[in-house]
A and B are shown apart, each in its own frame.
Chain A
Amino acid sequence: MKYIEIEKLYVNYESKNSKEALQGLDLNVYKGQIYGFLGPNGAGKTTTIKIILGLIPRYKGKVLIMGASPDNLSVKQKIGFMPEIANYYWYLTPRELLYMYAQIFGISKKNALAKIEKLIDLSDLKDAADNLMRTFSKGMMQKVSFAQALINDPDLLILDEPTSGLDPVSRIKMRDVIKELHREGKTIFFSSHELSEVEMICDEVAIIKDGKLLRAGKLGDLLKKKGGSTTFESYFLSIIGDNYR
């Protein structure tokens, strides 16, 4: 089953002189995949994610998430999203934030409290769970962000630069949790600049630039087509046409 189905997607931002952020993008993500979404800055990764989440109201093309429109509330009920910039209400504690989001998903109080404890544990937030987020570092906010993305036990998890700002240990832990979530059967759409991380985690990748899909497929197959001996980093650079070396 296709969890994300995008065909000939065009997005043009409101300002008159801006070029199209997405120019006929095609993308298919199937149930149970960990899908890496790569591209240089300004390639259109975050725009694509916003479209998937129903945050951009006007676009041309076909977008179906789990077979329905991206702004369908029953679809949103099954999605977890971790944004690139992790900013949350500073006047709340992580526990309060998670409880608020649990209420939005209609999770019962008993289940919500149990789930929150589990997520606080999983995200290493035990010591800070009752502190206002005003004082949190970027890494701490990333942990809160990861926890809130899992509050509804989502079928489709969308992660935008999930490990940026994390220390190496937290990064490894998060990577392990993502792999574990995949083993549980969750579909994960993973946008990152960390090529090594994508290489370690993802079964399939898509590389985009200037709003267009350049390559998509299984990592091994893509490298094989290039002769097999190249590294993923060299492959990526050759695809996006960056010849700084």
Chain B
Amino acid sequence: MRQIWILAQNTIKALIRKKDFYVFFIMLLVLLVSLLSENFFGARNVSRYIKDIGFFCLWLFSFIIAVTFASKQLPEEIDSKTILPLLAKPVTRTHFILGRFLGTVLASSSAYTIFYFLYIVVTSIKGEGIAFSLVIQAYIMGICFLSLVSAISILLTLYLTLSAGITVSFVIYFAIIWFADKLRAIVISRTGIESVLLNIVYYVIPHYEFYDLRVRLAHSWEAFPLWVLSGVIVYTILYTSVVLYISCSKLKKKFL
């Protein structure tokens, strides 16, 4: 456990010193401030657009940070050979994966927290507030989403190159956000072996759409029941654990 925590701290230090985060922070700040000063040709309910676009941007920036950061962890360590003196010490490959995963989640969650705080401040200034319970739910969902994204990005780089891993992470994200609902409709409409295969596909893919509360936030809808939130948290823990287990098994077999 000590080793995992030390590696996580090291990962966070890397995010702070590599300065990627500051670029996104400034971009989001500029975007939100410019949204704040706009009125979209005198449109009414402009706060709804600000909530929608602002949340999409903070979600996207946090996602980019998580994907790029998680994807770089293994290839950079292996290419630069910094992994060799590290694993020559009392650190197992499982410690390594879990440490880098924890560090990525903490780092991207910290960035998300700052972005989210900024978003809440800007939307509050502009007008309509958001129900506190929904603010908390969206925050928790964001952390769960970043955990799952980080685990999957780490896994992909064990099978693909760095750039391919990042690209596939993005493709998976956008494909699921856009097509998961349609896939569900197709699954229901089919029978026999087709239905079985499509059901497998549906249940195996990571359901990123579970975490996206953008519409709910934009329209100030009510928070959903606690059992739904609990269900999504359990889903995240199970899915992430399986992905990390596969990553550890793969790295254990890898020649360094």
Contacts and interface: CB of A to CB of B under 8 A. Distances in A.
Partners in one complex: yes
Interface of A: 13-14, 50, 53-58, 71, 73-74, 76-77, 79, 81-83, 85, 87-89, 91-92, 96, 100-101, 103-106, 132, 145, 148-149, 152, 158
A91 B256 contact: no
Interface residues of B, number: 26
B6 A104 contact: yes
A73 B91 CA distance: 7
B255 A57 contact: yes
8 contacts: A13-B255, A71-B92, A81-B89, A83-B84, A83-B88, A92-B10, A104-B86, A106-B2
B85 interface: yes
Given A92-B13, A106-B2, A53 B82 contact: no
In the complex, which of the residues B9, B10, B253 has the most CB atoms of chain A within 10 Å of its own CB atom? B10
B90 A104 contact: yes
B85 A55 contact: no
Secondary structure call for the A interface = loop
B252 A55 contact: no
Secondary structure call for the B interface = helix
Given A92-B13, A100-B10, A85 B81 contact: yes
A104 B3 contact: yes
A73 B85 CA distance: 14
B17 interface: yes
Interface string B210-247: 00000000000000000000000000000000000000
Given A79-B88, A88-B85, 13 more contacts: A14-B255, A53-B84, A53-B88, A55-B256, A76-B91, A81-B88, A83-B81, A83-B84, A88-B82, A89-B82, A104-B3, A104-B6, A132-B17
Contact of B87 (A54, A77, A87, A158): A54
Contacts of A83: 81, 84-85, 88
A152 B88 CA distance: 12
The list of the 4 closest CB pairs from A to B, nearest first, reads A91-B17, A81-B88, A53-B88, A73-B90
A112 B182 CA distance: 58
A57 B14 CA distance: 28
Contacts of A103: 2, 6
Nearest to A158: B88
Given A87-B80, A100-B6, A55 B88 contact: yes
Contacts of B3: 104
Contacts of B252: 57
Interface in B1-53: 2-3, 6, 9-10, 13-14, 17-18
A91 B15 CA distance: 9
Contacts of A55: 84, 87-88, 256
Given A104-B3, A148-B85, A57 B253 contact: yes
Interface string B183-216: 0000000000000000000000000000000000
Contacts of A152: 89
A145 B30 CA distance: 43
A77 B91 CA distance: 9
A206 B247 CA distance: 38
Nearest to B79: A87
B87 to A, nearest CB: 6
Given A50-B256, A56-B255, A103-B2, A89 B89 contact: no
Contacts of A74: 90
A81 B89 CA distance: 8
B89 A101 contact: yes
B81 A76 contact: no
Given A53-B88, A54-B87, A55-B87, A89 B10 contact: yes
Interface string B73-113: 00000001110111111111000000000000000000000
